[in-house]
């Protein structure tokens, strides 16, 4: 299975597997990765799965969806490489992707 690495604000890295087609949010929650809440269950309605995508992967993850864009504009500490990871679906092309979690989701 493809792997994704989440790096916490404090530097701790968590590498977990995610099935193709599964969102990175789901993979984080299922594996109890700290720093990703996913309170709305993947509906792109809460902005509690905010991550920063590492530069090498930014092109590969594709663009933000329109709803995601709006939701992110209300999230705290957004940057140019911010995404809501419930909207990033795992694929072989993303095997090895690295994302960072913000200081807090609320």
Partner 1 sequence: MTSVVVVGAGHAAIQLAASLRQGRFDGPITLIADEAGLPYQRPPLSKAFLAGHMDEPALALRPANFYAAQNVTVVENDPASAIDRAGHAVVTASGARIGYGHLVLATGAANRALPVPGADLPGVVGLRSLAEARGMKAILGDLKRVVVIGAGFIGLEFAAVAAERGIAVTLIEAAPRPLMRGVSAVMSDYLAAAHRGWGTRLLTGTGVSAIIGTTRAEGVELSTGEIVPADLVLVAIGVVPNTGLAAAAGLEVGNGIVVDSLLATADPAISAMGDCAAFPMEGQGRIRLESVQNASDQARCLADRLLGKPAAYAKLPWFWSDQGALKLQIAGLSGGHDRTILRGDPASGAFSVFCYQGERLLAVESLNRAPDHMAARRFLAGAAAVTPEQAADPMFDLRTAN
CA pseudo-torsion sign 102, 15, 29, 80: positive
Both tokens of 36, joined, read 């990703």
Residue closer to partner 1, measured from CB, 55 or 77: 77
Give the residues lining the site for partner 1 (CB under 8 A).
29-32, 34, 37, 39-41, 44-45, 47, 67, 70-71, 73-75
In the complex, what is the shortest distance from the CB of residue 60 to partner 1, in angstroms, rounded to a whole number?
A: 26
In the complex, what is the shortest distance from the CB of residue 62 to partner 1, in angstroms, rounded to a whole number?
A: 21
Closest to 6 (Cα-Cα) out of 28, 29, 23, 26: 28
Rounded alpha-carbon distances, angstroms, from residue 106 to 15, 22, 35, 36 = 24, 24, 10, 11
Which residue reads 């990175």 in tokens?
24
In the complex, what is the shortest distance from the CB of residue 97 to partner 1, in angstroms, rounded to a whole number?
A: 20
Asked if 63 contacts 29 with a C-beta cutoff of 8 angstroms, the reply is no
């Amino acid at each position: 299975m493809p792997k994704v690495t989440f790096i916490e604000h404090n530097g701790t890295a968590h590498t977990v597997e995610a099935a193709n087609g599964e969102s990175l949010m789901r993979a984080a929650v299922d594996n109890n990765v700290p720093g990703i809440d996913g309170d709305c269950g993947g509906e792109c309605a809460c902005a509690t799965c905010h991550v920063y995508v590492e530069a090498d992967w930014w092109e590969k993850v594709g663009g933000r969806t329109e709803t995601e864009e709006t939701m992110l504009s209300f999230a705290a500490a957004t940057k140019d490489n911010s995404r809501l990871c419930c909207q990033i679906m795992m694929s072989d092309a993303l095997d090895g992707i690295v994302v960072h979690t913000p200081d807090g989701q609320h």
